[in-house]
Amino acid sequence: MPSASTLGVFVTATFLFLLIPGPAVMYIVTRGVTQGRRAGLVSVAGIHAGTLVHVAGAVLGLSAVLATSAAAFTVVKLAGAGYLVYLGVRALVTRVADDAELRLAPRSNRRLFVDGAVVNLLNPKTAVFFLAFVPQFVRPGAGDATTQLLVISTVYVAMGLVTDGGWAVASGWFGARLRHRGDVTRRAQRASGVVYIALGAVTAVTGRHPSA
């Protein structure tokens, strides 16, 4: 097991890292503003389901492949960028109903969950994070390295659920005060589409492979 001091340093560093908004946070905020707190929280669950896949990948060595193979890194990065653009285009072309009751009806929880999982699953930066950052807190002589990695990763996921959950609640509260106006709802949906497309574009052109 990692020592208390090691976990303390990790928690502090991870908290600062999680405060920096990225594609996952923007996805959660957009869902929360346009569809409500519940949609934001379901999106949080999906995001961290994707994180769990990265945790498994780090333990099994997938992160090492992404970190050493420029081709694999590029493929996953472009796939994630493409999915963000797809979400943006879908938001721009979907008609917002005039009826308030229909307008407030969220997407199915399953769809929100899957979208969130895919957004984070196709983010190679998360995989590289688990390879480059998390292993620094694995201490030789403190027990099995795999166990230490799992404990530290679990702490990261728990912290992510709390911070991202805060974004979901805040954005849901803010969105609830706007959605009674149809014009604001339509603008929010168009804005979310633009945000997704912009995130996809930025993801596609930034984030060089560590070996570059």
The answer to whether 19 and 167 have CB atoms below 8 angstroms apart is no
Give the relative orientation of helices 23-35 and 182-205 as an angle to the nearest 10 degrees. 170
| Residue range(s) defining the domain that contains residue 101 | 4-12+23-205
Q: Is 210 within a domain?
A: no
Q: Is 112 within a domain?
A: yes
Chain segment 141-153, per-residue pLDDT in tens: 677 777 888 888 8
CATH number at residue 55: 1.20.1250
Model pLDDT, residue 99: 40
Q: Is 123 within a domain?
A: yes
pLDDT band at 101 (very low <50, low <70, confident <90, very high): very low
Which residues, including other chains, have CB under 8 Å from residue 168's CB and lie 6 or more apart?
A: 28, 29, 31, 32, 37, 40, 41, 43, 44
Q: Is 17 within a domain?
A: no
**Tokens in use for 76?**
């996953």
Q: Is 40 within a domain?
A: yes
Total domains in the fold of the chain: 1
For the cut 70, the answer to whether the pLDDT of residue 41 exceeds it is yes
Chain segment 66-87, per-residue pLDDT in tens: 667 777 767 767 877 787 788 7
Q: What is the pTM of this model?
A: 0.68
The answer to whether 129 and 41 have CB atoms below 8 angstroms apart is no
